[in-house]
Amino acid sequence: MTPETHDVPEHDDEFDRRMRAVFESAMPVDGIPGSLLRPERHSLLRPAALLCIGLLVGALAGTAIVFRPPSLVQAAISHERAERTLRGNFMPPQASVAGYFGLAPSARPPGLLQMAKPCLIAGRIAYHMTTWLDGVDGGGMVTAISFAQPVDLPERSGWWPDTYWRVVHTARGMHVLLFAQNRKAVEAAAQRFR
């Protein structure tokens, strides 16, 4: 077949524009009928990936639950942050301090005492002591908290969020909470409170 040699306008002229509008408006089309669409199979990788993500999230959540300290420990750590810069406040005789923390009256509190004062933590009267343990892996400032009334704090330890903490039950039955940024300092102080 020999091609014929008629010219077609390169761009739409007025007639073309109007005809396009006629075609558009004369034959309105609504949505696509659902019967035309095929149900999509999902990739086999997707459930596996979701399962892995679920397990990972579950594991992380579980870890967070396991290591999340009791609310009283959290409150004590927050309290210490607010008072971190206090030093030399309420410095009673060391024997009194030992008594507040369940130590024998003859015992000395561990380290170089920096501060001791009564506080209110989560609505409970508490004794707050900060002491510097020299010679423990470069030294470490340790905070010890004891409560005037009995509290339910099992002997446990953890890290949250940048603080090592440990609950020690003293020989006299007091529950002392210790925490520091240096884990070895916490361990050393714990030995002294048992």
Q: Which residues bind other proteins (CB under 8 A)?
A: 1, 3-8, 15-16, 18-20, 22-23, 25-29, 32-33, 35-44
44: which DSSP letter? T
Report CA dihedral (77, 83, 87, 90) to the nearest 10 degrees: -90
Residue with tokens 């999340």: 68
Write down the least CB distance from residue 49 to other proteins, Å: 13
> By C-beta, is 2 or 191 nearer to other proteins?
2
Instruction: Report the alpha-carbon distance of residue 89 to residue 119 in Å, rounded.
Output: 11
Task: State phi, psi for 16 to the nearest 5 degrees.
Answer: -60, -45
> By C-beta, is 40 or 162 nearer to other proteins?
40
> By C-beta, is 44 or 82 nearer to other proteins?
44
Instruction: Report the alpha-carbon distance of residue 124 to residue 150 in Å, rounded.
Output: 10
Write down the least CB distance from residue 156 to other proteins, Å: 49
> By C-beta, is 40 or 152 nearer to other proteins?
40
Write down the least CB distance from residue 25 to other proteins, Å: 6
Write down the least CB distance from residue 51 to other proteins, Å: 17
Instruction: Report the alpha-carbon distance of residue 127 to residue 121 in Å, rounded.
Output: 9
